[in-house]
A and B are shown apart, each in its own frame.
Chain A
């Protein structure tokens, strides 16, 4: 019986080598098919990156519409309702569909390479989390096609989200897609926890792990612990909307604080989920281009872990205005201020890393140093509203809009761009043009600051968030105008990157394996790496192992070369599979079924998804050995998911 699994399994080479082998099939078809069925962490990383960048452009377009509407007082570029949908979709898109998956792109591509592994612990689960993410993203945006985009804010405060106040399917789209995206995130983080804890090359102790791997690990724990809280809230909301329960029905005794607590117990760690990967990237980029080790690496690691812990104890600083009383306000205020200590330590350690270095100011370095500067602004404005009295004047005003964009663009996105410029040669085998890159950096950085610094002033002048228009005479006219111009320049900066990326993919100079004189293991293999990452699992001599091999330790002492770790089983690679995309689309169909109250499709889709999951989990895959000359081959038939043994 020819199931899709068998068909895919019959042509394993197509998934390893892209379009080159596909038997009698059309090459384009074979390429498409190889991407749809891939379980290779590098390809999944690229899928994440490309999809997330597309969503970043979409969210950016929504932002530009928002800024255009606010260019002058009383404009009618978009309607009030559509404006509300725009900021809801902008927030949800940027957080769940752009920054998180852009980080995931690096987790996927880089982390296995950095720890000297050949893939993640559960490769097909990895593909599943990508396809579920895509299903969730497409489902959320399908709401535009139905003319009912969500319009209740990315935070979806109850009871505005309940049926009496939001009758249409708009909230359903939002509530279901965030649940789907949560499934994807949790699956992925379980996978990466297992990968980092179990699949490190021999010799790579936890304290020798690169900072980016450390921050990845912390983020996975944050995801596993934070998403369940919002999922509980979303299930309550779903019960209220679909089944008529009263969790958020005040007349029936519902309590509206409940949603806010559940949401922010997730929502605040989410901020660290978005920013810590950027901290990890910067902790790799700054040492590389300063040609010095990371200053006080253990302290930077501990402070990252500490930020993760503290991140769960500060959620109510989003709720100083709800009236929790002075004791709770004071407690959450102090906790929030405390988090500034480990964050400050990171900033100072980065500065000390650069201090005394021989800085090669590459574009990646520009973005990393830019993060140090701009995140400092975002962090300090964060300390300002850690104080409840001050927060009561800044909360829900443009001051907070400025603050959060300094954290999420000045922090996260600058980190992501640093990572893109840093790892682009590794991921594509091509170099980006450094001079054009610097132009792109300055356009992006200037646009960003012109767009968002004046929003501090708007907040100080009392402009609330989420208003689609304002009046002449409010005193907000000038800074709104300036901010909008800045937003256009920022948009141009993103466009410039896209242009250069396209050019580099076709005409960029070929990248060597180690273009930056790198420190970590990913630079020890070719650019791009072979499908099995490393011909032999690399030896690990300490932190910055590859640098030690090239330059020796701090006294210039080179380690005695160690023979590669014996590989008694040869190279195991999992076989490609259609099941992940099939299971993921089952979730998407189920969500549509839920919205339409089409019980039939809902049950059928859920049933299919379950059957397929069962089938997937209990059918042993086959080990396929790619044609790598000179490497020992392995007989087929061993379980795929043991690739990391």
Chain B
């Protein structure tokens, strides 16, 4: 734990010296790459710190020499004498060829170690398998062993290795939750993997990192890392059938079942569409429409009425719902805990 804290401190100090001088910026923002919450993220930060310090030292050296030069060797007014016409110095030039090459070893060795360690082909024995599918512009998470499908919000148990199988149905996306480690592209026709073990319960933000079209900026996600017990509770709730709606929500269900919604969305027992997010437990998610807006009934009503306004280019059609219809559908969906 001490070593890890030291690494974090080192990275932050080196990268952030200027920023801190400018008024103490907080590095622990929701998507910080400098705060690790998984074994993968810590392995990366280990190399990150070494490289940051090495390059910072070399950079400082160059800057100091350059500063000395512009102060010391500026021509005095009226001084027209020529300086010594030195054309080169073999030993010096050899030393600043070989020196940096050696300095690169400091970076290269831990780099190669971490590359092979974090991309090991072996799957840890008790790993949780999750298939991640990147769609324009939302995320689908499929837990094959648990027979669960959810969207935009990925729940993981702390302390247990997880293997994310990245699979792409349309264009290239990139799965990136900075605090849990580096990104990996989701490429149609190619299967990629990320193996990591989240270590601290909490909510981590992520976002698509490969430009994927009009609403690339609106393709967010949340990863909720639960304690083992909380994760089991969550799984049980997701496997239960959704609550039967009443009142306005019941109207909403009728509208939903009778409209184009069912062509793309699955709600267990109601519809079986597969082109859009599975909505069976939509109400249990904190965020809406690709993890970008808080999942409140008001936002849901606005979203179903005019999806293009919140998310330009979105594939979900504008159905021409009235305000009342939109509210009823929102009430229904928000009730799907």
Contact = CB atoms under 8 A, between A and B. Distances in A.
A374 B25 CA distance: 24
Contact of A393 (B33, B107, B171, B292): B33
A326 interface: yes
Interface stretch (B204-212, B231-239, B295-303): B204-212
A347 B97 CA distance: 11
Contact of A460 (B27, B43, B44, B55): B27
Given A321-B174, A323-B184, A337-B108, A296 B30 contact: no
A453 B89 CA distance: 35
Given A257-B190, A323-B190, A330-B115, A359 B75 contact: yes
Contacts of A151: 214
A388 B66 CA distance: 31
B47 A296 contact: no
A390 B101 contact: no
Nearest to A476: B29
Interface in A394-430: 394-397
A477 to B, nearest CB: 10
Contacts of A345: 93, 96-97
Contacts of A631: none
B319 interface: no
B49 to A, nearest CB: 10
A359 B69 contact: yes
A337 B102 CA distance: 11
B81 interface: yes
Contacts of A503: none
Contact of B73 (A152, A330, A358): A358
A357 B87 contact: no
A90 to B, nearest CB: 13
Contact of B85 (A292, A380, A381): A292
Contacts of A456: 15
A394 B79 contact: no
Given A290-B83, A356-B73, A299 B93 contact: yes
Interface string B169-193: 0111010101001111101111011
Given A293-B86, A323-B187, A351 B172 contact: no
Nearest to A350: B66
B250 interface: no
Nearest to B88: A296
A310 interface: no
Interface string A78-92: 011100100000000
B48 interface: yes
A163 to B, nearest CB: 13
Given A397-B209, A475-B32, A295 B82 contact: no
Most buried by A among B27, B63, B66: B66
Nearest to B54: A383
A386 B103 CA distance: 14
Interface in B31-69: 31-34, 43-44, 47-48, 51-52, 55-56, 58-59, 62-63, 65-66, 69
A255 interface: yes
A619 interface: no
A346 to B, nearest CB: 10
A462 to B, nearest CB: 3
B73 A462 contact: no
B44 to A, nearest CB: 4
A383 B55 contact: yes
Given A256-B189, A297-B88, A80 B217 contact: yes
Contact of B210 (A250, A373, A396, A478): A396
Interface in B9-25: 15-16, 18-19, 25
Contacts of A604: none
Nearest to A469: B217
The winner among A298, A358, A456 for most chain B CB atoms within 10 A is A358
Contact of B81 (A355, A358, A381): A358
Contact of A349 (B93, B100, B112, B187): B93
Contacts of A390: 44, 47-48, 51, 111
Contact of B184 (A299, A325, A392, A459): A392
A392 B15 CA distance: 17
A66 B86 CA distance: 48
B259 interface: no
A354 B107 contact: no
B213 interface: yes
A554 B213 CA distance: 60
Given A341-B100, A369-B70, A373-B62, A293 B85 contact: yes
B118 interface: yes
Contact of A360 (B75, B111, B184): B75
Contacts, number: 292
A530 interface: no
A474 B30 contact: yes
A551 interface: yes
Range of interface residues on chain B?
35 or more
B312 interface: yes
Interface in B286-314: 292, 312-313
B86 A461 contact: no
A584 B118 CA distance: 52
A473 to B, nearest CB: 7
Contacts of A376: 59, 62-63
Contact of A159 (B27, B188, B208): B188
A111 B82 CA distance: 27
A340 interface: yes
A394 B83 contact: no
Contacts of B185: 321-323
Interface string A428-460: 000000000000000000000000011011011
Nearest to A345: B97
Nearest to A329: B115
Nearest to B166: A323
Contacts of A381: 55
Given A291-B83, A337-B107, A389-B114, A466 B63 contact: no
Interface string A128-164: 0000000000000000000000011100010110000
A344 B95 CA distance: 12
Contact of B108 (A296, A333, A380, A394): A333
Given A359-B74, A361-B74, A469-B217, A329 B119 contact: yes
Contacts of B229: none
A267 to B, nearest CB: 15
Contacts of A193: none
A254 interface: yes
Contacts of B25: 457, 478-479
Given A160-B212, A380-B59, A334 B108 contact: yes
B69 A395 contact: no
Contacts of B216: 84, 466-467
A290 B56 CA distance: 28
B92 interface: yes
B15 to A, nearest CB: 6
A159 B183 contact: no
Given A389-B182, A464-B209, 10 more contacts: A256-B187, A333-B108, A333-B115, A357-B83, A359-B73, A376-B59, A384-B48, A394-B33, A396-B183, A454-B19
4 closest Cβ pairs, A-B complex: A392-B182, A475-B29, A462-B31, A467-B217
16 contacts: A80-B313, A250-B188, A321-B174, A323-B166, A337-B108, A348-B96, A354-B69, A354-B73, A373-B66, A383-B104, A392-B182, A461-B27, A462-B176, A464-B209, A469-B217, A475-B32
Interface of B: 15-16, 18-19, 25-27, 29-34, 43-44, 47-48, 51-52, 55-56, 58-59, 62-63, 65-66, 69-70, 73-75, 79, 81-89, 92-93, 96-97, 100-101, 104, 107-108, 111-112, 114-116, 118-119, 136, 166, 170-172, 174, 176, 178, 181-185, 187-190, 192-193, 205, 207-218, 292, 312-313
